[in-house]
C-alpha cells in the first residue's frame, strides 16, 4: 500500500515509447495492491496502471499471471490485461525491476457490500471458474495446506501467544484437524485465492473488474469459494456474520458455475482452511512489521473470529441450508 520505487516522468515516457500507447499526460503514484509500486498513467490515448514488481512477487510467476489474465479476457471475463509493447513483449524492466503496463479498469472497491453486490461477485467468481476449466498452466499454492505448519513455526509460539494467549496451541490443533480432514479427491484448477472486496471493482451492482491476481494458483475451486466467502460475508473485524451476503454470494456462484456434491461437502473444511491461511499470514506480518511503520497491520484476530464461526456446528448447518437453497434456486 505504498510506492516503493520513485519514477520520474522522463523514465516513464521512455518506457511508454516502446508501446503504441500515446504520450504521457499524467502520472500519480497510487496506494494499492500488495508489495508492488503502482502508478496511474494517463496518456493522450488511454489510461493504464504501471506496476513495478518489488520483492513479494517472484518474476518467475509473471508468465502464469499473464497467461491467466489473457485466457480470462478472451473468455469474456472482466479482468485487466497486460499490454504488449510494439514487439509483443508484455514484461519489461524499469528502474531495475520487472515492470508491466496494465489496462486501467473503471470501478471502485466497495467496503460495505450489499446483497446485490455479493451476488454479482459470486456470479463473477463462478464465471471465472467456468472459464478456467480448460486453462492448463499450473502454479502450486505456496500459501496452501502444506505451508501452514511451517508458517506457524516462522511466527514462533511466543509470537503467536503474544498476539493472543493460547493462539499457538489453537493453530497447531487446527493444522492437525485440517491435515486429517482436507479433501484429497477434488480436481485442482487455477483459482484467484484472494478475492476480497478490495480486489473486485464495481459500478453500482455490476462487477467491472476482478483484479490483483498475484496470489492466483492451482487449488480446489471450493477453496477459492471459501476464501471469497470468508472475505465477503463478515464484518471486517470478523465480529459478525452477514447471512444475506452469504446466501447471495453462494447463490450467485451456484447460478454461474454450480457447486457439486463433493465441493459442497468440503466447503466447511475449506472455510476453516481459508481462515487459517489469513490468520497465519496476518500473524506473520503483525510480528514482522514495526508498530510505527506506515503500513497498516491488519488484525489477525479478525480471521480467528471467522475461524470460530466456521468451527460451530450450528453455523455450518445454517450454511449448508443456504447451499441447499442455492441448489434449488440454481
Write out the three cell numbers for 25.
Answer: 499526460
Of 3-11, 173-181, 221-229, 313-321: span binding its own copies (CB under 8 A): 3-11
Would you call 142 helix, strand, or coil by DSSP? Answer: coil
**Stretch touching its own copies by CB under 8 A, among 90-98, 180-188, 286-294, 312-320:** 286-294
Query: Would you give the binding string for its own copies spanning residues 156-195, x where CB under 8 A is met?
Result: ----------------------------------------
Residue numbers 217-256 binding its own copies by CB under 8 A: none
Neighbours of 29 (CB within 10 A): 16
Which member of 22, 70, 81, 107 binds its own copies (CB under 8 A)?
107
130 touching its own copies, by CB under 8 A: no
Measured CA angle at 112 (ends 106, 115), to 5 deg: 90
CB of 105 to its own copies, least distance (A): 8
Per CB under 8 A, 106 contacts its own copies: yes
Among the listed ranges 57-65, 106-114, 133-141, 315-323, the one in contact with its own copies (CB under 8 A) is: 106-114
Q: Which of 76, 111, 158, 180 binds its own copies (CB under 8 A)?
A: 111
> Among 6-14, 70-78, 86-94, 139-147, which window interacts with its own copies (CB under 8 A)?
6-14
Site string for its own copies, 42-71 (x = CB under 8 A): x-----------------------------
Q: Which conformational region is residue 27 in: left (phi greater than 0), alpha (psi within -120 to 50 degrees), or beta? A: beta
Helix (H) or strand (E) holding 207: strand 206-210
DSSP string, 208-269: EEE---TT-EEEEHHHHHHHHHHHHSB-TTSS-B-HHHHHHHHHHHHHHT---HHHHHHHHH
Which one of residues 60, 185, 292, 313 is an interface residue with its own copies (CB under 8 A)?
292
Question: How far apart are alpha carbons 135 and 65 in whole angstroms?
Answer: 12
Question: How many residues belong to the site for its own copies (CB under 8 A)?
Answer: 33
Site map (CB under 8 A) of its own copies, residues 195-214, x = contact: --------x-----------
Among 59, 295, 312, 321, binds its own copies (CB under 8 A): 295
**Nearest distance in Å: CB 310, its own copies:** 26
- What is d(CA 50, CA 3) in angstroms, rounded to the nearest whole number? 11
Measured distance CA(294)–CA(93) in Å, rounded: 28
Q: Which stretch binds its own copies (CB under 8 A): 28-36, 58-66, 215-223, 304-312?
A: 28-36
Q: Of 244, 252, 255, whose CA–CA distance to 206 is shortest?
A: 252
Q: Is residue 2 near its own copies by the rule CB under 8 A?
A: yes
Judged by CB under 8 A, the residue of 22, 29, 162, 330 near its own copies is 29
Residue closer to its own copies, measured from CB, 29 or 162: 29
Among residues 138, 148, 142, 202, the alpha carbon closest in space to that of 175 is found at 148
Q: Which long-range contacts (CB under 8 A, 24 or more apart) does 66-74 make?
A: 66/90, 66/91, 66/100, 67/135, 67/137, 68/132, 68/135, 68/137, 68/190, 68/213, 68/216, 69/213, 71/131, 71/132, 71/135, 72/128, 72/131, 72/132, 72/210
Q: Figure out which of the listed residues 60, 76, 87, 112 binds its own copies, where binding follows CB under 8 A.
A: 112
User: Checking DSSP bridges between strand 47-53 and strand 97-103, what pairing results, if any?
Assistant: antiparallel
Least CB distance to its own copies at residue 230 (A)? 19
Closest Cα partner for 34 from 213, 247, 251, 232?
Answer: 213
| Position 25 contacts its own copies (CB under 8 A) | yes
Instruction: Give the residue, chosen from 68, 72, 100, 110, that forms a contact with its own copies under the rule CB under 8 A.
Output: 110
Q: Which residues bind its own copies (CB under 8 A)?
A: 1-3, 6, 8-10, 12, 24-32, 40, 42, 106-112, 203, 290, 292-296
Amino acid at each position: 500500500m505504498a510506492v516503493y520505487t520513485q519514477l520520474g516522468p522522463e523514465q516513464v515516457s521512455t518506457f511508454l515509447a516502446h508501446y503504441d500507447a500515446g504520450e504521457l499526460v499524467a502520472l500519480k503514484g497510487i496506494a494499492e495492491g500488495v508489495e508492488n509500486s503502482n502508478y496511474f498513467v494517463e496518456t493522450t490515448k488511454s489510461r493504464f496502471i504501471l506496476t513495478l514488481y518489488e520483492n513479494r512477487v517472484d518474476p518467475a510467476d509473471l508468465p502464469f499471471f499473464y497467461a491467466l489474465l489473457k485466457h480470462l479476457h478472451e473468455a469474456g471475463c472482466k479482468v485487466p490485461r497486460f499490454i504488449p509493447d510494439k514487439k509483443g513483449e508484455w514484461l519489461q524492466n524499469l528502474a531495475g525491476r520487472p515492470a508491466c503496463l496494465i489496462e486501467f479498469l473503471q470501478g471502485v472497491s466497495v467496503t460495505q457490500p450489499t446483497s446485490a453486490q455479493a451476488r454479482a461477485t459470486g456470479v463473477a467468481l463462478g464465471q471465472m471458474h467456468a472459464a478456467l476449466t480448460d486453462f492448463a498452466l499450473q502454479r502450486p499454492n505456496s500459501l496452501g495446506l502444506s505451508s501452514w505448519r511451517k508458517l506457524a513455526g516462522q511466527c514462533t509460539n511466543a509470537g503467536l501467544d503474544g498476539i493472543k494467549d493460547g493462539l499457538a496451541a489453537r493453530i497447531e490443533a487446527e493444522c492437525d484437524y485440517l491435515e486429517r480432514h482436507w479433501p484429497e479427491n477434488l480436481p485442482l484448477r487455477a483459482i484467484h485465492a484472494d478475492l476480497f472486496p478490495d480486489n473486485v471493482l464495481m459500478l453500482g451492482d455490476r462487477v467491472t473488474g476482478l483484479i490483483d491476481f498475484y496470489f492466483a494458483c492451482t487449488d480446489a475451486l471450493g477453496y477459492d469459494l471459501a476464501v471469497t466467502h470468508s472475505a465477503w460475508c463478515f464484518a471486517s473485524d470478523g465480529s459478525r456474520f452477514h447471512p444475506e451476503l452469504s446466501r447471495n454470494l453462494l447463490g450467485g456462484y451456484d447460478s454461474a458455475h454450480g457447486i457439486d456434491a463433493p465441493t459442497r461437502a468440503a466447503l466447511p473444511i475449506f472455510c476453516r482452511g481459508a481462515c487459517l491461511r489469513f490468520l497465519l499470514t496476518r500473524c506473520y506480518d503483525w510480528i514482522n512489521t514495526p508498530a510505527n511503520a506506515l503500513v497498516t497491520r491488519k488484525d489477525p484476530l479478525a480471521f480467528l473470529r471467522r475461524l470460530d464461526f466456521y468451527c460451530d456446528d450450528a453455523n455450518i448447518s445454517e450454511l449448508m441450508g443456504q447451499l441447499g437453497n442455492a441448489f434449488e434456486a440454481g
